[in-house]
Amino acid sequence: MISTFADQKRKTIETAEFTEDGRYKRKVRSFVLRTGRLSEFQKTMMNTHWGELGLDYQNTPFDFARVYGNANPVILEIGFGMGQSLVDMAYANPDKNYLGIEVHTPGVGACIAYAVEKGIKNLRVICHDATEILRDSIADNTLGGLQLFFPDPWHKAKHHKRRIVQPHFVENVVKKLKDNGFIHMATDWGNYAEQMLEVLSANPHLTNTSENADYIPRPDFRPLTKFEARGHRLGHGVWDLFFTKKSV
């Protein structure tokens, strides 16, 4: 069986890590590798269009002006799922550049397929650990904003340390934001919303845009996902948080 680019990308994401003496190195990750089945269509989309829509991890910062061919603001979204809302936002905002990170390869394939269908030019996707991308591949003071919508809530108390929204994560994101850049988060898990609010509010470089210093109504520019619409029908709550970086 021929191993294609998409197959290799999938294999890379799933590869176990070991110490120099051969012991398995367990990382506390903020995601679970729910790989699912990478369909032939998704695989073909990744193989065919990665050169125009994909970015690979690198240990030096991306040159966004070269990547996108313009100086428009770059909005980073971590964990875009199947990518529909991300592509819709890119389509609706041609004056912004979007960069999506997702480790779920079927989602990456589906996102690329939808972007091709919509003729999107202002979007790039990455299939890699977001923490490493933030650390190595994105320079300080270069992002216009960060989007984090419905991250894994890790609802058991003993697993809360796996939640991506922790003080050190927010500190790292703030470093990457330009002055007045934003952090927009949304969750349908009340306990996680409280944690997000606490962590974001504690960062001295951020300002909460909520009139009540808590949550904002869902803004029109954040597309309503099928997942979210289903939650509304079932009576689930959704909390949006929108903070901006203070000017120095």
Binding residues for substrate: 156, 188, 225-228
To which H or E segment does residue 97 belong?
A: strand 97-101
**Residue numbering of the annotated binding site for S-adenosyl-L-methionine:** 77, 102, 129, 152
Q: How far are the Cα atoms of 63, 174, 213 from residue 70, in angstroms, in the given order?
A: 11, 23, 35
Beta bridge mates, 75: 98, 145
Distance separating alpha carbons of residues 29 and 34, to the nearest angstrom? 13
Amino acid at 38: L
Q: Tell me which residues are annotated as active site.
A: 152
The tokens of 247 are what? 């000017």
> Both ends of the chain: CA-CA distance in Å?
56
**How do beta strands 123-126 and 54-55 pair?**
parallel
Smallest CA-to-CA distance from 215 within 181, 238, 182, 246 is with: 238
CA distance 224 to 85: 8
Annotated binding site: 77, 102, 129, 152, 156, 188, 225-228
CB 125 within 8 A of CB 112: yes
CB count, 10 Å around CB of 55?
18
Our measurement of the distance from residue 179's CA atom to the centroid of its chain's CA atoms, rounded to an integer in Å, reads 20
